[in-house]
Structure 1
Amino acid sequence: MLIQEKAERLFEALKKEKGEGCESEEFVASKGWFMHFKDRANLHNLKVPGEAATDDAKAAGDFPSALAEIIREGGYCDKQVFHVAETGLFWKHMPTHTYIAKKEKAASCHKASKERLSLLLGANAAGDFKLKPLVCLAENPRAIKGIWKGLLPVIWKSNKKALVTLSVFEDWFTNHFVPEVKDYCASRGLPFKVLLVLDSSPCHPANLNDFHPNVKVVYLPPSTTSLLQPMGQGVIASFKAYYLRRTFAMAFRATEKDKELTLNDFWKSYNVLASVKNISDSWDEVKQTNLNAVWKKLCPQFGNDFHGFEDSVEVVIKNVVELSKQLDSEVEVEDVTELLASHGEELSAEDLTQLKQQFVEEEDTPTPEPRRFTSKELAGPLP
């Protein structure tokens, strides 16, 4: 019912935006429409809101012992057990009271930037091997045109929804996860047999166990993700805090180097290529000890004694506030906390419309023709 209601609100918002000529357009988010939508989006394991939370707690309490038995039978060590999780990131969204956000709010017909991308982050239980981050955004942002995607410090995937979809995940699993982990196992003198723990997200194929004989996939019980998922025990939250700190630090360095450059000027020049660099560097900041410790709930036999993140979210927030003061901004702790929490908020109809326009603008930008070489140029030395 929530999805049906959301679809109808979005339809009305789009109808209002289009204006004249759309009065006769009709749309009914019926039960039949929802069933077709569910099939197309590969939604599964839906849980009716309001079901007893005790069932979730019981499942979360029982699952670690079941997983421990799977690990024991398979002979997996902590280096061979992996987990990945998806998350959203508003890569160009600033705290409410920054100079940038104030200007955006004051500008007519313009909402505060909510340019969104999706991330897939993961590592093994030992914490000594981080998977290369997967970033999902539009096909050809202007900032990366002419750049070979293989040179980026992340895995670049694309679709109009800026989401890790079923097809994106399958491609990532086959062409990135399997080769990366195979090489890692070889470098550690381990046999290539791994266990991948996933939640029940719609983008995770239900038959993933059939994809590769050396990769066993185990799914967390429905509605236990927040209780058990390792990446959700502080890793993703810390990563996003590190990302915000790096963005502010980048702005500070830029304005210090060029005294004529304002924060507003910097933010106009901050593009998705710079964001990708910050994403990679922020992921590098997550410590091995923390990546290992967050498995304590799911795999107590692997997790070390967890005394908290070395660089906690609270510490990073204070760093951001200090940096903002050097940028003559008015950011307070509450503003930064609110921003970090906003990454998980439901998008409004206006937000979704804005994202749709973002993709249209990207598609309207012509893609430059790839450079062609003559046989004479190919025969000569590379530049």
Structure 2
Amino acid sequence: MLDRGKPAYKIAEEFGVGKTQIQNLRKRKLEVLSDFENNVPGQSKRRRYLTGNEEVNTLTYEWFKDAVNKRINITGPLIQEQALHFAAKQGNSSFKASKGWLESFIKRHDISFGSMSGERGDVKQSTITEWAEKLPTLCADYKPENIFNMDETGLFFRDSGRKTYRLKGDDCAGGKRSKERITVALCSSMTGEKVKPLVIGKSRSPRCFGRMDVKTLPVDYYFNKKAWMNSYIYEEFLKSLNRKMKSQNRNILLFVDNAPSHPQVKLSNIKVQFLPVNTTSVTQPMDQGIIQTVKLKFRKRQLQHMVRGMEQHPAMQGSELLKQITILDAIYWLSNSWSEVETNTIVKCFSKAGFSIDNFACSSIADFDVSEEDCDEDDDVPLAVMQMSLELFGCNFKDLVKIDEEVLTCETQNTNWGAPIENLLSEFMPDKCSFSESLDEGDDSDENENDLSVHIPTYSETCDFVNKLKTFAVNVGNSILMDNIVKFDDELCKVIVNKPKQSQITDFFEKRTL
């Protein structure tokens, strides 16, 4: 309600409070949300004031989490020393890292000191069987609908393969292989409940987004220079999911892998459980066919786009058509592909990883193995799409899923805490980056140079297009297509009715003469 532009006095009247309270809530929105998702008691909350050391505090906390993950023994003086180091690099000579600052830092981040245990750092599961025996105990206090798994995967959204068929003697230089990629995080429960996909690109606001509000996209969109998952984005994902679960009065168990970008996070309604190291190819449900299914559905849409493009522009080469695909196209293709994954597919993939709805007390993950035929891999693939895959990219349709199978989704090397302060801030505090800097990072740096000169249809032209589409749908006898066109027409009518009326110079004089 606070984000919808509703006047403060109307909200105040609706809830029977003062207008000033609503205005203060708007100013302190992030703080209030943080208290809510961390389950801070109302009586213990107090207004937190900005001190001017927020960047030092953030970098120190990120360094602390990285040190804990490396099993480094952390003391209070060591935290103070590192904070002073960051302040010096930033040129902040007024920061003292006093004892009072340390106490506030520890309280703010809910840090507790004690003896270091070896539960996560040193203990290694010797076999998958041991994990299978342990799994029922971990899940004992949770219903199947409250057991989730999240995993990331890389996706080349303008790429489809290296090989291509050619005539003997022809040059096989081909087009420049696109390296545009995004990182996608998918999360679902073992009963098939899907969480909104998370997409990480390279630019804050790619040109193809136009005037679209990122918050209205069918995915949660983030960005950084390498389009990788990092601890900041991971924590934002968890906080968002935690708010959702808290609003539903649910407590869930979330399984994730031990990636460097997955720090330990304390949440009110989510318990995070790490999978055994180097076993995720067997123990991670998303890796048992869910991600593969989504990618095949995505590639199907990509190739259908190519087929349509070649019919529309016969003279264009495949690499040129691929280059026209934008990250906005990829986001909507991905969202629709994720929504099409059947509940049965998700349930079977969880079972294949040892999560059985019927029986948690399984003796072996192999007891719940399912054949690949049981997984939804989109068998309803048009012949034209399969031919396009073979003729243009030199591989079977289902082999397209292997293109980005080994793509990194996060930094595998240790964070370089000695890097320039600007680099550290851009990684852990992306909101501090200027808008122009984010564009220079270039999600769409190699998109068509003609993008900005594309003719934008008028309202009248758009209405004519809709009428032509309706005629086309009727002539081909496709009721599904017609239904979607009518829905589009309804939305278009709303846009036209609500469009701002353009002022004229005569309006100014009319007001002056009243």
Q: Same fold (TM over 0.5)?
A: yes
For residue 85 of structure 1, report the CA deviation from its aligned partner.
Answer: 0.3
Is the Cα–Cα contact under 8 Å of residues 293 and 376 in structure 2 kept in the other structure? yes
* 2:129 aligns with one of 58, 61, 66: 61
Conserved 8 A contact 1:135-1:157:
yes
- Secondary structure, counterpart of 2:350 in structure 1: coil
Deviation of 1:63 after TM superposition, in Å, equals 1.8
Where does 1:213-252 land on structure 2 (aligned, <5 Å)? 213-252=268-307
Q: Cα deviations across residues 190-244 of structure 1 (Å, max 9, x unaligned)?
A: x4111111111111112x2x2x222111111111111110000111112111111
* Residue 90 (structure 1) aligned with residue 145 (structure 2): no
One-letter amino acid matched to 1:63:
W
Query: Does the C-alpha gap of structure 1 residues 125 and 363 become closer, same or farther in structure 2, counting only changes over 3 Å?
Result: closer
Retained in 1: the 8 A contact 2:345–2:376?
no
Q: Using the alignment, how far apart are the partners of 1:382 and 1:203 within structure 2? A: 44
Aligned residue among 147, 162, 168 for 1:81: 147
Provide the rounded CA distance (Å) in 1 between the counterparts of 2:171 and 2:294: 27
Whether the 8 Å contact between 1:42 and 1:203 is mirrored in structure 2 is: no
Relative contact order higher in (CA < 8 Å, ≥ 6 apart): 1
| Distance (whole Å) between structure 2 residues aligned to residue 272 and residue 306 of structure 1 | 34
**Change in CA separation of 1:42 and 1:85 when aligned onto 2, cut-off 3 Å:** farther
Which AA in structure 2 matches 1:131? V
Which of the numbers 230, 245, 255 marks the counterpart of 1:197? 255
Residue in structure 2 matched with residue 130 of structure 1 by the alignment? 194
TM-score, length of structure 1 as denominator length: 0.65
Aligned ranges 1:1-383 → 2 under 5 Å = 58-72=126-140, 74=141, 76-97=142-163, 105-106=173-174, 111-127=176-192, 129-139=193-203, 140-174=205-239, 176-182=240-246, 186=248, 191-206=249-264, 208=265, 210=266, 212-256=267-311, 263=318, 265-296=320-351, 297-302=353-358, 306-308=370-372, 312-313=376-377, 315=379, 319=381, 322-323=384-385, 325=387, 329-333=391-395, 337=399, 339-345=400-406, 360-362=441-443, 383=500
**CA-to-aligned-CA distance 1:330-375 (integer Å, 9 cap, x gap):** 44435862x432313368xxxxxxxxxx96445989xx9xxxxxxx
Structure exhibiting the larger radius of gyration computed from Cα positions? 2
The alpha-carbon distance between structure 1 residues 196 and 94, as it changes in their structure 2 partners (threshold 3 A), is: same
Letter in 1 for 2:280: T
Whether the aligned pair in 1 keeps the contact of 2:150 and 2:187 (CA below 8 Å) is: yes
Aligned-pair distance for 1:268? Answer: 3.3
For structure 2, the 5+ residue unaligned runs are: 1-62, 72-122, 360-367, 409-438, 447-451, 453-496, 501-514
| Residue 321 of structure 1: how far off its partner (Å) | 7.1
Whichever residue aligns with residue 406 of structure 2, its letter is E
Aligned residues: 295
Q: Which amino acid aligns with 2:355?
A: C
Deviation at 1:294, TM superposition (A): 1.2
Instruction: Give the SS at the match of 2:208.
Output: helix
1:84/1:120 contact within 8 Å kept: yes
Sequence identity, in percent? Answer: 24
Residue 485 (structure 2) aligns with: none
Q: Under a length normalisation based on structure 2, what TM-score does the superposition of the two structures give?
A: 0.50
- Cα distance change on mapping 1:182 and 1:258 into 2, 3 Å: farther
The aligned counterpart of 1:33 is none
Q: Compute the RMSD of aligned alpha carbons.
A: 3.9
Letter of the structure 2 residue corresponding to residue 179 of structure 1: R
8 A contact 1:41–1:202 mirrored in 2: no
Q: Deviations over 1:117-144 (max 9, x none)?
A: 10100100111x1111100011222111
Are residues 221 and 278 of structure 1, via their aligned partners in 2, closer, same or farther at CA, if it must alter by over 3 Å? same
Separation in structure 2 between the aligned mates of residue 69 and residue 152 of structure 1, nearest angstrom? 39
User: Which AA in structure 2 matches 1:135?
Assistant: V
SS in 2 for 1:333: coil
Query: Structure 1 unaligned runs (5+)?
Result: 1-36, 46-54, 348-357, 369-379
Give secondary structure in 2 for the equivalent of 1:295.
helix
Work out whether residues 84 and 198 of structure 1, in 8 Å CA contact, stay in contact via their aligned partners in 2: yes
Deviations 1:134-174, CA, capped at 9 Å, x for gaps: 00011222111421001111110011110111111001111
- Counterpart contact for 2:245–2:269, Cα < 8 Å: no
Is the CA contact (8 Å cut-off) linking 2:160 and 2:393 kept in structure 1? Answer: no
- Could you tell me whether the CA contact under 8 Å between 1:86 and 1:120 is conserved in 2? yes
